[in-house]
Amino acid sequence: MSVRVLFFGSLADKLGQRECSVPATECMTLADLVRLVKCECFSPLLLAVNQQQVTDATTMITDGDEVAIMPPFSGG
């Protein structure tokens, strides 16, 4: 019963980790998860659930989900 959380770019460097696992709880939103992994102070952030970008922080997170917490993109 867990959620895999991925961090990228400058955010991963600031946190000192690229990935972690958190216990899946009932009624956990994306915003709850961002707070749980102590990312709420970073802005702007982009979020994805199961490789789909999500802008609604009230999106529910469930067991087995993969959540990506990302700084703005800078490819090209």
Partner 1 sequence: MMDAKMVRIQEEDFSVEEEVNALRETSKRIGGIATFLGCARDFSEGRDVFSICFEQYAGMAETALAALRAEAMEKFDIIEVRIIHRITTVHAGDQIVLIVVGAEHRKPAFAACEWMIDTLKQRVPIWKKEVTPDGDSWVTQHP
Q: Which is nearer to partner 1, 12 or 25 (CB)?
A: 12
Residue 44: asked if its preceding bond is cis (omega within 30°), the reply is: yes
Locate 26 and state its tokens.
């009932």
| Nearest approach, Cβ of residue 71 and partner 1 (Å) | 7
Distance of closest approach, residue 72 Cβ to partner 1, in angstroms: 6
If we measure between CA atoms, which residue out of 35, 30, 40, 42 comes closest to residue 68? 30
CB of 12 to partner 1, least distance (A): 8
Residues that bind partner 1 (CB under 8 A): 6, 8-10, 13, 46, 48, 51-53, 68, 70-76
Q: How far, in Å, CA of 8 to CA of 60, rounded?
A: 22
